[in-house]
Amino acid sequence: MAPQAWFSIQAAGAAARAAERGAEQARRQILFGVAQVYTVVASLRQALDVEERLLESSRRREREAEARLRAGAAPRVVLVRAQVDRARAEQDVRRASSALAAARIGLAALLDRDADFEVVEPPEPALPADLEALAAGAEGARPDVAAARLARTSAEAQRRAASSRYLPTFLAFGRSQWSSVEGFAGKSTTWAAGVALSWALLDGGLREAELREAEARAAESAAALRAAELRARAEVRQAMLDLESARANARKAEEQRALAAENLRLVETAWRAGSATAVEQADAAASLRNAEIALTAEVLGARLAALRVLQAAGAFDPVPRA
């Protein structure tokens, strides 16, 4: 019966469970990083689609300008301006295509596969209706908080193990033996029993030093647990604020895109009627392009913000462990 061994076993078990929770946190962080990269790649795919649509619109305006020039209804500068816009749109398409290819290569490296795949638009992250309840359960759901809690349990057990070194170690033993050959006493069975007590009375202050060190580690682990809990609360609150802001920005970007599309439609109608200039048409097309790209970026920001809410609350686990 060694009291210090009891607490040492408890400390080792808690440390092992803390390591498991730490590994789980690392696994979720990796999956979260991959999900972020995939969302970015999907957003770049959408941006490329936008650039291709705008390129087709630029080519259509160039054909219209060329027809008006041949009919004598517009000066040559109108055609030149349309050609400039078309060339810029082609450059934007090449730039977007290169960005998508580079991002796909990075995603392929994370997935450990070739980059010859296409991405589809990911679904919206599934957030519960009650975000406050999600925030309240963050401390119990996050693996890093659980690991810090187990680390504190291990440190407390180590402190008790250090304190128990002042206690004696008690040993009791018994033995019974049978032999087919009789011994000197004329018996074929023998037995023995006994007890032993070991008690270290003087060790030169080693136990006091180990106890102080264990107490310091216990205090450190308690502070680390408190810091992990506060960090979890702060990250959830910040992620929720970021999500609210990102959703508002996405709604505003959608409104601006709709207004830019309507403005381009009106300007093109007026241009065909001869009451608008080619410069006004080009400006309207550029405004629509900027609005489309801004909308894509804001939608991406809203999705990433939703993923960060799930991650901060400890609810992000797209591939649960079996």
Distance CA 184, CA 176 (A): 17
Classify the C-alpha dihedral 149-151-154-160 as positive or negative. negative
To the question of pTM greater than 0.95 for the whole model, the response is: no
Beta strands in the chain (DSSP E): 169-178, 189-198
Cβ atoms within 10 Å, residue 231: 15
Give the CA count within 13 Å in the CB-facing half-sphere of 106.
17
Cβ atoms within 10 Å, residue 55: 20
Render pLDDT for 19-39 as a digit per residue (tens, 0 to 9).
Answer: 999 999 999 899 999 999 999
Render pLDDT for 127-179 as a digit per residue (tens, 0 to 9).
Answer: 877 777 877 888 888 899 999 999 999 999 888 888 888 778 778 878 888 87
Strand-pair partners of 190: 177
Mean pLDDT, the chain, as a whole number?
86
Distance CA 123, CA 100 (A): 19
Tell me the one-letter amino acid at 235: E
